[in-house]
Amino acid sequence: MSRSIRDHEILSAVFAKMDVVAMSVAVGSLCSLLFFLATAVLLMQTAPENYPVGAHLSDLSDYLPGYSVSWAGALIGACYGFLFGALAGFFAGVYWNLTHYFALGVMLISSAQLAD
């Protein structure tokens, strides 16, 4: 095997491609779980009668239609969490791959110039 092919294989292994779909699902699932748990913890706490539970978290209902600090709202919030997390994971994965392809291309071009 020639040196340039071996070098290319080493660089390709070091700069491995990230699976964008897997990253989207992973970050979406994590955000969904965190959103659900944030609402569920508030609902499981005991509070005096007529005391507003989760006043700050309930402000999200202004931005997320259907969300409220309730068990149904926790499920709706989990869906929103998955959506926003999946979008963030998608863009993070695409950014990761693009920056690594760019760095790999720069290294390959510079190594080709040094070989001449």
| Tens digit of each residue's pLDDT (9 = 90 or more) over 98-109 | 998 888 788 778
Supply the pLDDT for residue 23. Answer: 97
Tell me the two tokens of residue 72. 């149904």
* pTM for this entry: 0.80
Q: Give the CA angle between residues 99, 105, 109 to the nearest 5°.
A: 150
Q: Helix, strand or coil for residue 12?
A: helix
Stretch 91-96: mean pLDDT: 96
Mean pLDDT of 17-21: 91
Instruction: Name the pLDDT band for 75 (thresholds 50, 70, 90).
Output: very high
Higher pLDDT, 8 or 36: 36
**Angle formed at CA 41 by CA 38 and CA 43, multiple of 5 degrees:** 110
The percentage of the chain sitting over the pLDDT mark of 70, rounded to a whole number, equals: 85
In terms of Cα–Cα distance, which of 72, 53, 33 is closest to 64?
Answer: 72
| Weakest-pLDDT range from 28-32, 37-41, 48-52, 70-74 | 48-52
Q: Determine whether 105 is exposed, middle or buried from the number of CB atoms within 10 Å of its CB (0-12, 13-18, 19+).
A: exposed
34-60 b/e (C-beta count within 10 Å ≥ 16 → b): ebbebbeebeeeeeeeeeeebeebbeb
pLDDT band at 53 (very low <50, low <70, confident <90, very high): confident
Query: For residue 115, what pLDDT band results from cuts at 50, 70 and 90?
Result: low
